[in-house]
Amino acid sequence: MKKWSLYTSKEIKPAGWLKKQLELQASALSGNLHKIWPDVRDSKWIGGTAEGWERVPYWLDGFIPMAYLLEDESLISTAKKYMDAIISFQKPDGWLCPCEDDRRPFYDTWAVLLLAKVLTVYYQCSGEEKIIKVLYDMLKNYHGLLKDGTVKLFDWGKYRWYEGFIAIEFLYGKCGEEWLLDLAKILKEQGMDYDTVTDQWVRPLNKWTFDTHIVNLAMMLKSEAVSCDLLGEEYTDKAQYYYDILNKYNGMPAGTFTGDECLSGISPIQGAELCSVVELMYCYELLYAYTGDKKWAEKLETLAFNALPAAISDDMWAHQYVQQSNQIACIRFPGKSVFRTNNSEAHLFGLEPNYGCCTANFSQGWPKLALSAFMFRGDKVISAFPVPSTLNTDAVSISLETDYPFENTFKYTVKAVKDTTLVLRVPTFASDYLVNGEKVWVEEVSVPVKAGETKVLDVSFTATPVIEKRPLDLNAVRYGSLLFALPIKYDTVIKEYERDGVERKFPYCDYEYHPQSKWNYGFADTVLSVEQRKVSDIPFSSVNPPLVIKAFVKEIEWGYADGYETVCAKVPESVKAIGERQQVELYPYGCAKLRMTELPFAEE
C-alpha cells in the first residue's frame, strides 16, 4: 500500500470555522469533564475510586490533541497532569492499568489496547521521550502475559484486537524488535474473525451481541489496513466488503450505520450511537492514510460534516447517545423504548444519556479530523480533507482559507523551503474544478513548488444538489458532502437532577427538545436551490445555518409509530397530499437537531 503519513499537532493547526469548533468543544463538556464528571474527575486511573477502565483513556484520546491543536496551556497542563498520574502507577513489570495483580486474568484488556493508543497520541503531541519507555514496558509486559496464557483476549478486547496495532506499529518503527511482531500475531489469533459473523448483520434483532455491536463494527473496518503490514499479509480491501454489507442492511444517509446499540436495520427512526460516529471517522482517516483511496476520504467528509455535529448541542455542553434520521422529538419515552437495546432516554441531549462511554469518547471527532487535514509521503503533501487549517514543517508552509463544506472555494498559499508537491484531491461530486481559473480533468491535481518559491492557488468547483433514493420509497437531499433535512422548531426543557451520585446541573444537565412545527411532509417536486449564508461563531448552528436548500413540499398523513406520540412512523401511513405546495428551507443535517431527513414524494 502507498501510505500517507500523518503530521503532528505541532505542524498542523486548525483555522477558520474548524478552529471555532474546537474552541467551542474546549469551552464546553470536553474541556470540563475533569471538573464535573466523577468517571474522569475521580477515576481509578489517577488514584480515585471511580471507573478504571475505558472512560479516562477515551476522554484523553480526544482531549490531548484538542489541547495541543489549540495551544491552550491550561488544557495542556491538565493533559500532562492526567498522563503523569497514570504513568506514576505503572508497576515494575510494566503493567499500567488500575487492576490488582491477582485480578489481571479477569480484567478486559481492551483498556490496555486503548491506553496504548492514547500514549502514542500523547507522545506525538507532547514529544515527551519518557512516553516511549512507558509504552515499551507496558506492551512488553502485555506480550509476556498473552504469551504465557496469564491473560487472554475476551469480550471487548477480543472484538477490538486491532486497536493495539496503532501503538505496535509506532513502537516497532522506533525499536524494530521482533517481539512486537509476535504480539501482533497473538492479538490477531485471539481476536474476533469478523468473516464468521457477517450473516448476522443482515437481519437486526432486539438482542445485544458483541457480533453486531455498532462500535465494534465501526472500529473494525480499519482492521486489515492497520494490521496487514505487521502481519506480513496482503491487503485485500476487506473494509469495502464489510462496508457494503453494513450499508445495504443498516445504512443511514448521514454516512454511518444504525446501531442502538447493536445493528438496527434501515428504518429512519432507529438510532446511531455517537461512539460509532467518531470511531468510524477515525477508521476512515486511517483507511485513507493507509490506502490513498479517496472513497474513504469522501465517506469521512459525509460522516464528519453531518452525523457528528447532529448529535451534539450548539454549545457542545450536551450530546445524544443515539441520533435518528427522522427525529421529530427528543423526549424521554414514557414506557418501552423505540430503540432495540437502548433505554428510553438514549436520544436526549445531556451529560451521559443511556451510557457514559459517548460522554468520554465523542471528544476525538473534531481534533482527529483536524490532524488529518494534510498528510505527506516523501516530498508530496496532500490536502486530504480541505478544512481551514495551516501546515508548518521544515520543508513547507501551507495555509488553506476556506469555508468548505459550506462553500466550494479554497485559497492555498504554499511557501516551500524544500522542493514540494502539493496534491489536491478532486471530489467525485465536483464539476468545473478550477485551479487559478483553469479547468482540470484529473482525480488528483499535483502542483510542484520549488524551494524558495511561493505559490497561491485559487481553487473552486461546482456541486449540484440532488435528491437521492433511500430504502422504503424514501428520499434524501445531498449537496456535495452535506446532507440536508427539514428542520423542526422546538422548545427546550431543562432537566436538572442527580442519579447514582452524578449531578446534572446547567449547562451539563439533560435537555428535552419538544417539537413546535409541522414535520409531516413529502417532496412536491425535484426543484432545489441553494442559498449561501454566513458561517457564524457556531459553525453548525441550529438557528443560523451557513447555507440552506429551498425545496417544495406538501403535507401528507404521515402518522406516528405504533404506541408512540413522539416518534414518527417508520414510513408514512399515506403519501397522498393533504395540503398545498409550499416552499421550505432545508438545513444541513448537522444543524437540524429535530428533523425529517428521509421523505417520500407526495402524490396528488
Identify the bridge partners of residue 248 per DSSP, sorted by sequence position.
none
Rounded to whole angstroms, the Cα distance separating 169 from 184 reads 9
State the residue for C-alpha cell 475533569: 34
pLDDT at 1 over 70: no
Q: What percent of the chain has pLDDT over 90?
A: 99
Q: What does the pLDDT average to over 43-54?
A: 96
Q: Averaged over 258-275, what is the pLDDT?
A: 97
The answer to whether the Cα torsion of 170, 173, 179, 182 is positive or negative is positive
Question: Do 572 and 519 touch, CB atoms closer than 8 A?
Answer: no
| Residues whose CB falls within 8 Å of the CB of residue 572, separated by 6 or more in sequence, listed in order | 520, 522, 556, 557, 558, 559, 600
Q: What is the pLDDT of residues 446-472, one digit of tens each?
A: 999 999 999 999 999 999 999 999 999
Q: State whether residue 535 is helix, strand or coil.
A: coil
Q: Is the pLDDT of residue 475 over 70?
A: yes
Q: How far apart are the C-alpha atoms of 107 and 98, rounded to whole Å?
A: 10
Q: Where are the domains of the chain?
A: 37-191, 375-462, 466-596
Q: Is the pLDDT of residue 2 over 90?
A: no
Residue 91 pLDDT greater than 70, yes or no: yes
What gap in Å lies between CA 263 and CA 201, rounded to an integer? 7
CA 321 to chain centre: 13
Each residue's pLDDT tens digit, 531-577: 999 999 999 999 999 999 999 999 999 999 999 999 999 999 999 99
Fold of 375-462: Immunoglobulin-like (2.60.40)
Contact 503, 495 (CB under 8 A): no
pTM of the model: 0.97
pLDDT band at 604 (very low <50, low <70, confident <90, very high): confident
Percentage of residues in the chain having pLDDT higher than 70: 100
User: Across the chain, what does the average pLDDT equal?
Assistant: 97
Sorting pLDDT into bands at 50, 70 and 90, what band is 416?
A: very high
pLDDT of residue 572: 98
d(CA 571, CA 558): 7
| Other beta carbons less than 10 A from residue 29's beta carbon | 25
User: Of 170, 83, 483, which is closest to residue 323 (Cα–Cα)?
Assistant: 483
Residue 386 has pLDDT above 90, yes or no: yes
335 or 121: which leads in pLDDT = 121
- For position 292, what pLDDT does the model report? 95
